[in-house]
């Protein structure tokens, strides 16, 4: 019975994780309609409206009391503050990279990140990999190395993005709070800074409130929803799914973005990209097959004499 509950929880966690990364992969379509707004103001609006949306969810699901208790718990509050700093830093680095002509280097970071998540799962959380899973990790690593060599220099922005989001995932894995409460703690720490920047922008005459069209303002407010929901799904998944498994699921987001870049935004896709992605997708297939085999063994192995 306990094993069945764990299997159901893990399956649900994988489902939440997949939905989160599909949403993140599709976000470039959303940001395309806000290209007249500066990236830093989008970031401030994302944080502030996320806080209001999560506060609404706390009221809707009557989770204010658990939120208050968690906020007063020094250990939990510290972990949530660390998570909020890491995810905010990740957003800032990505925005800075894109605004300064480092789009390729920034996108590479989200292919390096899953490898770091797998490594953190093994080294920090003592998660174990089978021989085939190690082989899958090596294949994915080769694919990333090919992209890095093709780029021509050490991609510091890529590694910074990978490290911040990788450790954010680890922090979420270690946090002992329910997903909604944890997300509320993260947003409450950064919301004052975001609001402060928004007020400063408006007072300086560089703000967008009152200057963009109503549809654009609606989308700008909606950044709270499109930011908070994937983070909430990610938090639910991170609590139930091994970090090493989460690492491979993460490849969905940059792959969806790649498809959008090639077929929607008409960006170049070279033969080097084809080779490197072939390695990565072979790794995903191998890891998926090995994970299925392990699950079947754990399910039926004890029933055999």
pLDDT in tens, 80-104: 899 999 998 998 888 777 767 677 7
Tokens of 214: 């109503």
**φ, ψ dihedrals at 244, nearest 5°:** -65, -40
Checking if the pLDDT of 73 tops 60, the result is yes
Looking at residue 304, its pLDDT comes to 35
Checking if the pLDDT of 235 tops 90, the result is no
pLDDT tens by residue, 7-34 = 888 888 989 999 999 998 888 888 778 8
If one compares 76 and 154, the residue with the highest pLDDT of the two is 76
Element (H, E) at 130: none
**Percent of the chain clearing pLDDT 90 (strictly above):** 25
| CA separation for the pair 153, 151 (Å, rounded) | 6
| CA separation for the pair 62, 51 (Å, rounded) | 16
- Nearest Cα neighbor of 183 from 23, 45, 11, 53 is 53
Checking if the pLDDT of 171 tops 50, the result is yes
Looking at residue 47, its pLDDT comes to 92
Tokens of 260: 């959008």
| CA separation for the pair 219, 228 (Å, rounded) | 14
Cα separation values, 17 from 7, 142, 246, 249, Å: 15, 25, 7, 7
**Percent of the chain clearing pLDDT 70 (strictly above):** 91
Confidence of residue 163 (pLDDT cuts 50, 70, 90): very high
Mean of pLDDT values over 220-242 = 87
Spatial contact of 157 and 109, defined as CB atoms under 8 Å apart: yes
Q: Is the full-model pTM beyond 0.75?
A: yes
| Average pLDDT over all residues of the chain | 83
| CA separation for the pair 83, 32 (Å, rounded) | 27
If one compares 189 and 299, the residue with the highest pLDDT of the two is 189
Looking at residue 284, its pLDDT comes to 75
Checking if the pLDDT of 298 tops 70, the result is no
Spatial contact of 116 and 166, defined as CB atoms under 8 Å apart: yes
């Amino acid at each position: 019975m306990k094993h069945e509950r764990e299997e159901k929880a893990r399956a649900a966690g994988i489902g939440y994780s997949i939905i989160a990364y599909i949403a993140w992969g599709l976000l470039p379509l959303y940001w395309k309609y806000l290209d007249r707004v500066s990236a830093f103001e989008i970031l401030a609006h994302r944080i502030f409206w996320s806080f209001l949306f999560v506060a609404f969810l706390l009221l809707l699901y009557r989770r204010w009391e658990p939120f208050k208790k968690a906020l007063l718990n020094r250990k939990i509050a510290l972990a949530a503050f660390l998570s909020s700093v890491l995810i905010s830093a990740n957003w800032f680095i990505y925005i800075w990279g894109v605004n300064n002509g480092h789009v390729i280097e920034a996108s590479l970071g989200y292919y390096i990140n899953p490898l770091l998540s797998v490594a953190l799962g093994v080294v920090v959380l003592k998660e174990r990999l089978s021989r085939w899973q190690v082989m899958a990790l090596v294949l994915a690593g080769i694919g990333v190395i090919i992209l890095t060599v093709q780029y021509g220099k050490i991609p510091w922005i890529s590694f910074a993005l990978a490290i911040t989001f990788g450790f954010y995932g680890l922090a979420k894995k270690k946090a002992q709070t329910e997903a909604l409460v944890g997300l509320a703690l993260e947003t409450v720490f950064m919301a004052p800074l975001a609001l402060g920047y928004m007020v400063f922008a408006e007072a300086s005459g560089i703000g967008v409130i009152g200057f963009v069209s109503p549809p654009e303002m609606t989308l700008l407010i909606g950044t709270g929803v499109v930011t908070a929901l994937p983070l909430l799904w990610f938090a639910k998944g991170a609590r139930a799914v091994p970090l090493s498994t989460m690492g491979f699921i993460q490849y969905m987001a940059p792959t969806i973005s790649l498809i959008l870049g090639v077929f929607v935004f008409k960006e170049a896709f070279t033969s080097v990209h084809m080779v490197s992605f072939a390695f990565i997708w072979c790794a995903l297939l191998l890891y998926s097959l090995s994970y299925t085999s392990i699950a079947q063994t754990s399910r039926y192995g004890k029933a055999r004499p």
